[in-house]
Amino acid sequence: MRNFIIALFIALPNFLNAQSNSNHPQLVVGVVVDQMRPDFISRYWDKFGSGGFKRLINEGFNCKNTQYNYAPTHTGPGHASIYTGTTPSYHGITGNDWFDLVAMDTVNCVSDPKVTSVGTTSTEGNCSPSRLLTTTITDQLRLATQMKAKVISVSLKNRGAILPGGRSGQAYWFDGLTGKFITSSWYRNDLPTWLNEFNDRCWADEYLSKPWKTVFPLKEYTESDHDDSPYEAPFTGEGKPIFPHDLPSLRGTRYDIITDIPFGNTMTKDVALAAILGEKLGDDSITDFLAISFSAVDHIGHQFGIESVEMEDAYIRLDRDLSDLLTFLDNRVGKNKYLFFLTADHGAPSNPIRSRDLKLNTGIINTRNIQDTARYFLKMKYGKEEYYRCRIKEQVYLDEDLITKDKLSLCDMSFELGTFLKKTIAGLGETLTSCEMESNVYSDMLKSRIQNGHYHGRGGDVYLLYLPGWTEPIAGVNRNQGTNHGSPYSYDAHVPLLWYGRNIPNGSTHHEVNITDIVPTLSFLLNIPLPYSANGKKIDELIK
């Protein structure tokens, strides 16, 4: 009897661990929708089928008050924060682009001149996660399983695929020159067989061979503005931004236009399904991870705005893509054997000119005026306009080396410049300097969010906080058309967060949840360590 008890005592930890592991999902699927607000679900609810958003809401768990706790709210920082469980002040992805003090040039958040393209001769593959300064939940899953867990990340955008996959996963993104999904030498030296087979099908050609028509009759899109709206930008070569959009005649010789239409999301779903089959994701007891970023709706929002029929039709089609994805997971992995979550990297405001015409206090920032005014002030106050280096989105960069050489104070100059810009630039509400953010801790929500988005050496010397509803114009789009994002305000910071599947209760919460809380929750659900810099909190309502 004593020997039996001793043997049981020795075996018990392994038995309990086996029981714990058996409760893990076989596959985690993380979906990020690029530019989505929670109200899109209720706005388009009656147009959705039963298997997509409605299934996630009715059978899963809805965190209704999920917020970005930092700014700027852009694609790169959003994907990095979702998967690291921390803010740009720790993971270092402060924007899609920033000025690099080593390269002395503007760099992209995933650009990497040390790697080469795989699957294309273009430079679209010269990318990697090397600029990400901490681990992701996908890295931690790999580490916790002695690198046996498979991590695959797919998106049309390179940053939408690379940042969720972390430093140890596999990432694949779309090349607008060839119409194929590619990768870089950071990950491997050739494309996997399943992706070559997918690319050989020439899906992009198929989706661009027919016009973009609405799913339902145009008159039924009562949740949106009228189709021929002055607040929307037409495609290049198109007279008006109205349906149907003649894709075969608009596409030209490249494939870029597929990133601007809902079929780009459908193709992303298709490559995700091919990855599940090709990589045998979820086929064994070791939890795998599939990260999917649907980025076409972001391009559509930028071009047409969030009140457009195009945006509504894109979400109707995305709902069908989600339904296809969930049904496939049911059949392939098994219902209740996978864990699924959906969120967004940022929201978006209404078109500022449309809002202004409706008598709201909104507008378009004259970004050229920011540059000219800054140079004028520095010339008049300090004798040199060359102290101004550049502006990237909401951030102004000064030439610190020149300022130091001339024995001037960067902190004083930044503060005085910010104060002058506040007084002279229409739509500019507040400015914060890098020096201020590095020497203060803010309790004010907006300032705190800006501070959480700042990383020394990458962020600008002066951060520009525009008034609510004011945005920068869209590059390549008429300054009065489409929409933009990046602010700490609710229209950009409030996003959906839906959970579904293995170990997920049915219900909802109105408690405030930060975007950085997703990773700690996943860590508890998977029983793996947190990423190195994660500082969010687990969502208690989801942890049984």
Bridge-based pairing state of the strands 288-294 and 151-155: parallel
∠ at Cα 180 (178, 184), nearest 5°? 100
pLDDT range class, residue 67, cuts 50, 70, 90? very high
Least reliable range by pLDDT among 144-148, 233-237, 289-293: 233-237
Active site residues per annotation: 75
pLDDT range class, residue 524, cuts 50, 70, 90? very high
Q: How far apart are the first and last CA of the chain?
A: 36
Over 70: is that where the pLDDT of 37 sits?
Answer: yes
Per-residue pLDDT at 463: 98
Q: What is the largest CA-CA distance in the chain?
A: 92
* Average pLDDT rounded to a whole number, residues 217-230: 96
Per-residue pLDDT at 22: 63
Cβ neighbourhood burial of 19 (10 Å; 0-12, 13-18, 19+): exposed
Would the pTM count as exceeding 0.85? yes
CA-derived radius of gyration, the chain: 24
pLDDT range class, residue 446, cuts 50, 70, 90? very high
pLDDT 10s digits, 334-345: 999 999 999 999
d(Cα 119, Cα 198) in Å, to the nearest integer?
12
d(Cα 14, Cα 296) in Å, to the nearest integer?
46
Per-residue pLDDT at 542: 93
CATH of 32-68+102-348+490-542, one of 3.40.720.10, 3.40.50.920, 3.40.1160.10, 3.30.1340.10: 3.40.720.10
d(Cα 455, Cα 88) in Å, to the nearest integer?
6
d(Cα 85, Cα 92) in Å, to the nearest integer?
13
**Domain range annotation of the chain:** 32-68+102-348+490-542, 366-425+428-466
Over 70: is that where the pLDDT of 323 sits?
Answer: yes
Over 70: is that where the pLDDT of 21 sits?
Answer: no
pLDDT 10s digits, 122-171: 999 999 999 999 999 999 999 999 999 999 999 999 999 999 999 999 99
- Which overall architecture, per CATH, does domain 366-425+428-466 show? 2-Layer Sandwich (3.30)
pLDDT range class, residue 50, cuts 50, 70, 90? very high
Beta strands in 327-451 (DSSP E): 338-344, 363-364, 388-392, 395-398, 428-433
pLDDT range class, residue 479, cuts 50, 70, 90? confident
